[in-house]
Amino acid sequence: MNETFNTRRFGLLVRRQWAENKKVYLLLWGVISLTTLIFPVFSEKSDLFLLQLLLLCFGGCIIISTAFTRWTDIGRSSFYMLLPASSSEKFMCALLYSIILFIPVYCLNYFIIRYVVFYFVILLFPNNLLPFSSVLRGGITSITSAPFSFYLVVFLAFLFAQSLYLVITVFFKKRHMLIFLLTIMLVLIIYNAGMDYYMSAIAGVPRGTVFIPGFVLTFLSPDFGYSPTGSMASMEHFSFARPVWLLNNLAWLVVFCLMYLTAFFRLKEKEL
């Protein structure tokens, strides 16, 4: 098979992917929409960001698994590998649905559900809501006023979860979600213990007095905390310099891209 990227073959592959998985995609978006509608009712406002971030990452993992299931499933992989399309075309088709289309559609879906559908659902009950136009303007303002760093953190968290799940999918034959969750827990334990030891050693202070940056990985927070008593009440925050923070985010972006490439070369080996 010619490995040169061909746009016509790629377009046919994209159409085939949609035709074979449209029911799964529509079901996934139905679950995401319903969950987005329910979150504000049963959750505190301070928890909504974390819940929506988890929903975004979960949806990204599910959709990437549908894109690569034919490469990893032993019973169905042979037929898919014999399709007249190069490995790069198959891989880019998967990324098209899993990243390039998924993220914009998720954002649009969130806005419609959160500020349009939710508004009309609330109208069914006694309320003191603002006019619909004011709610829409408020939603647009809250989205456009958020700094770029906020969306960068969300994007990196999404890439972290999806790239890790993709690597697990192509290296393990079954129990992908269980292995994924165990890996996340292991990362949390190693990261927190390692960063606590490392930063305490650099600062020359007892362990337990430095609060490490980020609750998962360093791109989730641009600062760290120090408390001489080990209490949150007396904690002081120290921010990293902006160039250091940007370099840190760039390093993580490179790591996640390498994880995607690792999955690509692993799948290419299977075709050979």
Q: What is the DSSP string of 71-89?
A: HH-HHHHHHHHTSSS-HHH
What pLDDT sits at residue 208? 65
Which of 117, 145, 173 is the C-terminal boundary of a domain?
A: 145
Which of 145, 173, 206 is the C-terminal boundary of a domain?
A: 145
Same-domain check for residues 221 and 139: no
Same-domain check for residues 157 and 271: yes
Residues of the chain with pLDDT under 50: none
Contact 130, 115 (CB under 8 A): no
Enclosing domain of residue 108:
1-145
Residue 127 CA to residue 138 CA, distance in Å, equals: 18
What pLDDT sits at residue 216? 66
- C-alpha distances out from residue 217 to 43, 161, 184, 194, 201, Å: 25, 12, 11, 12, 19
Same-domain check for residues 124 and 4: yes
Contact 157, 53 (CB under 8 A): yes
DSSP secondary structure of 212-271? PSSSSSGGG-SEEEE-TTS-GGG-EEEEPPHHHHHHHHHHHHHHHHHHHHHHHHHHHHHH
Mean per-residue pLDDT of the chain: 79
Burial (CB < 10 A; 0-12, 13-18, 19+), residue 2, is exposed
Give the distance between the most distant pair of CA atoms in the chain: 65
Same-domain check for residues 241 and 180: yes
What pLDDT sits at residue 100? 92
> Which residue, 258, 93, 62, is CA-closest to 165?
62
What pLDDT sits at residue 164? 92
Same-domain check for residues 211 and 128: no
The number of domains in the chain is 2
Same-domain check for residues 221 and 129: no
Same-domain check for residues 137 and 109: yes
Same-domain check for residues 15 and 108: yes
Same-domain check for residues 2 and 65: yes
Same-domain check for residues 112 and 185: no
User: Side chain identity at 75, as an amino acid letter?
Assistant: G
What pLDDT sits at residue 165? 92
Which of 145, 178, 202 is the C-terminal boundary of a domain?
A: 145
> Which residues, at least 6 apart from 155, have a Cβ–Cβ distance to it below 8 Å?
103
DSSP secondary structure of 180-220? HHHHHHHHHHHHHHHHHHHHHHHHT--TTSEEPSSSSSGGG
What pLDDT sits at residue 69? 62
> Which residue, 147, 151, 176, 135, is CA-closest to 53?
151
